[in-house]
C-alpha cells in the first residue's frame, strides 16, 4: 500500500509545510537494488583495538573507502564503532565521543554500527556493565539519527572476532540497503561458522528453498528475493490460493505445492516434493500465518486454536520432519517469521502474540539441534509492514502504526524478505537462535 503522506512531505510545498508545523517527515529509505554499491561514501572505523584494525583492513580489501580518523566536514556513508575490548564503563567515553564528532557528517541513508561483545559472557561485573551500556547507547543513538540513517549493533561471542565470516556478513548486511528498515537492533554472532559468497549478487546460488504462505504479500516478496539471490524455489500455500500461488511460482521459475501446513503429514509432503524435484532441501522459510483478532474476554477456543495450530504447532511438526530427514543435511537453514506482537504484545491479539512468542521460543530451543548438523535457525520479527492486511486497519490506527518508529514510516514486504535472505545465506552460518526485528525501531518493545 502506498504511504501518500510520506510522498507528500518529501515534495516541495508539502516538505515546507511539514517542517513549519513540526510534523513527521519520513525520509526515502536507501533500499537494495542489484548492482548498486554496498554503500556510498567513506566508512569511518573508530576504535583503538586490534579488532578495529583488522576490520578496517578487511573493508579496505573490499575496495571500500575506509577512514581511521575523521576528516572534518567530509560526508560519511557509515560510522563503525568497535568496542570489542571495553572492560569497564569508563572505557566508553573516549571512543564514543570520537565517533560523535562525526555524526553531523553522516550522509542521508547512512549507517552507524557498533561491534561489541555480549554482557552475558563478561568476565566481571564491570565488563558486563560496559557491554550492556553499549546496548542502551546504540538503541538511543538510533532514535536520534535522521535522513533515513540507521544504527545497529553486532555482538561477538567468545572466540569470534571482527573478521569472522558471519561478523563480516552482518557488517555487509547492515551497511547495505538490504537493512533499510532494520534499526536499533543487535545480532549476535555465536560461532566462527559461515562463508562469504564468492558472488555477492547470488549468495543463494545452488540452494533449494521452501517458502510457505507464498501466494501473496510478504511470502511472495520472500520468493522473489530468494530467487533473485539464486535459490531454486518450492512455494507452498493452501489450495484456495492456488491460482495466486501458481502465478508467483511461474514468476520466480519455481514449483507450487498446494498444501495446508496444519496437516499432520505436511512436513513429509514438503520433503517428498523437494526431494523428487531437486534431490534435497536446504532452506525452510516458515512464513505462513493467520490472525483471528479479538479481545480475550470475547474469544472462544476456535480462534485461539486455529492461530496456535497454524502459526506455531505446524512449524514444530514440520521442523521435526526436517530434522529427521536425510534430505535436510547440507548446511540446513530455517528462518521463521515472528512478529513484534510476540515481543511487546498487542491489544486484541492474545492468540497471535502467543503464537509468535512461541515461534521465538522454538527458534532458541531448536538452534543447538541445527548447529549439530552444521545448520542454523533464526526468526525475523516484522513491525508495521505495508501489506493488504495493514491496509484494512482503520485510518487513524494505520497512521499511528506507520509513524511510531524511528524511521516514521511502514516497512515494505521486501524489507522482511531481504532480512530472511541474509539469515538463509551460508555467510550467516555463525548466527543461530537469533530474533532480528524488522520494524524501523518501533517505539513499542525492546
Catalytic residues: 352
43: helix, strand or coil: strand
Q: Measured between alpha carbons, how far is 160 from 170 in angstroms, rounded to an integer? A: 13
Q: Measured between alpha carbons, how far is 336 from 343 in angstroms, rounded to an integer? A: 15
Using alpha carbons, list the distances in angstroms from residue 14 to 3, 24, 108.
14, 11, 19
CB 370 within 8 A of CB 332: yes
Strands 106-116 and 150-156: parallel
Q: Residue 75 carries which DSSP code?
A: -
Own/partner pairs, 137-141, CB within 8 angstroms, 24+ separation: 137/92, 137/96, 138/112, 138/114, 138/184, 138/186, 139/184, 139/441, 141/112
Q: Measured between alpha carbons, how far is 251 from 148 in angstroms, rounded to an integer? A: 31
For residue 300, count CB atoms less than 10 angstroms from its CB and return exposed for 0-12, middle for 13-18, buried for 19 or more.
exposed
Q: Length of the chain in residues, anyone? A: 446
Radius of gyration of the chain measured on its C-alpha atoms? 22
Using alpha carbons, list the distances in angstroms from residue 267 to 272, 305, 324.
9, 20, 10
Q: Measured between alpha carbons, how far is 367 from 385 in angstroms, rounded to an integer? A: 27
For residue 357, count CB atoms less than 10 angstroms from its CB and return exposed for 0-12, middle for 13-18, buried for 19 or more.
middle
CB 39 within 8 A of CB 72: no
Amino acid at each position: 500500500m502506498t504511504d501518500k503522506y510520506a510522498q507528500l512531505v518529501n515534495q516541495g510545498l508539502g516538505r515546507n509545510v511539514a517542517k513549519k508545523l513540526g510534523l513527521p517527515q519520513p525520509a526515502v529509505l536507501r533500499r537494495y537494488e542489484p548492482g548498486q554499491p554496498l554503500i556510498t561514501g567513506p566508512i569511518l572505523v573508530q576504535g583503538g583495538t586490534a579488532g578495529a584494525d583488522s576490520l578496517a583492513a578487511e573493508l579496505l580489501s573490499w575496495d571500500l573507502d575506509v577512514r581511521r580518523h575523521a576528516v572534518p566536514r567530509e560526508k560519511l556513508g557509515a560510522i563503525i564503532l568497535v568496542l570489542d575490548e571495553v572492560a569497564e564503563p569508563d572505557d566508553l567515553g573516549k571512543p564514543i565521543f570520537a565517533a560523535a564528532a562525526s555524526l553531523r557528517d553522516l550522509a542521508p541513508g547512512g549507517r552507524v554500527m557498533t561491534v561489541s561483545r555480549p554482557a552475558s559472557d563478561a568476565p566481571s561485573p564491570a565488563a558486563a556493565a560496559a557491554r550492556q551500556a553499549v546496548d542502551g547507547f546504540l538503541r538511543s543513538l538510533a532514535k536520534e539519527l535522521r535522513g533515513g540513517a540507521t544504527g545497529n549493533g553486532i555482538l561477538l561471542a567468545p572466540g569470534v572476532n571482527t573478521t569472522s565470516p558471519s561478523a563480516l556478513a552482518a557488517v555487509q548486511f547492515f551497511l547495505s540497503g538490504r537493512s533499510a528498515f532494520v534499526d536499533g537492533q543487535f545480532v549476535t554472532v555465536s560461532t566462527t561458522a559461515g562463508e562469504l559468497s564468492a558472488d555477492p549478487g547470488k549468495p543463494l546460488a545452488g540452494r533449494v528453498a521452501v517458502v510457505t504462505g507464498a501466494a501473496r504479500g510478504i511470502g511472495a516478496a520472500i520468493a522473489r528475493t530468494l530467487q533473485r539471490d539464486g535459490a531454486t524455489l518450492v512455494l507452498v500455500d493452501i489450495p484456495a490460493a492456488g491460482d495466486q500461488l501458481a502465478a508467483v511460482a511461474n514468476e520466480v521459475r519455481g514449483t507450487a505445492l498446494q498444501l495446508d501446513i496444519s496437516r499432520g503429514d505436511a512436513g513429509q509432503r514438503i520433503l517428498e516434493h523437494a526431494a523428487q524435484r531437486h534431490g534435497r532441501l536446504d532452506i525452510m522459510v516458515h512464513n505462513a500465518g493467520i490472525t483471528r483478532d479479538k479481545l480475550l474476554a470475547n474469544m472462544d477456543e476456535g480462534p485461539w486454536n486455529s492461530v496456535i495450530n497454524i502459526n506455531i504447532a505446524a512449524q514444530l511438526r514440520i521442523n521435526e520432519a526436517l530434522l529427521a530427514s536425510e534430505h535436510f543435511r547440507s548446511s540446513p537453514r530455517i528462518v521463521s517469521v515472528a512478529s513484534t506482537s510476540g515481543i511487546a504484545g498487542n491489544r486484541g491479539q492474545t492468540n497471535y502474540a502467543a503464537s509468535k512468542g512461541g515461534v521465538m521460543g522454538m527458534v532458541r530451543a531448536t538452534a543447538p539441534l541445527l548447529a549439530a548438523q552444521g545448520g542454523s535457525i533464526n526468526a525475523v520479527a516484522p513491525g508495521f509492514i505495508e501489506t493488504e492486511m495493514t491496509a484494512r486497519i482503520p485510518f487513524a490506527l494505520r497512521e499511528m502504526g506507520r509513524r511510531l518508529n524511528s524511521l516514521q514510516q511502514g516497512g515494505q514486504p521486501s524489507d522482511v524478505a531481504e532480512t530472511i535472505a541474509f539469515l538463509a545465506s551460508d555467510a550467516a552460518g555463525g548466527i543461530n537462535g537469533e530474533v532480528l526485528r524488522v520494524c524501523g525501531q518501533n517505539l513499542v518493545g525492546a
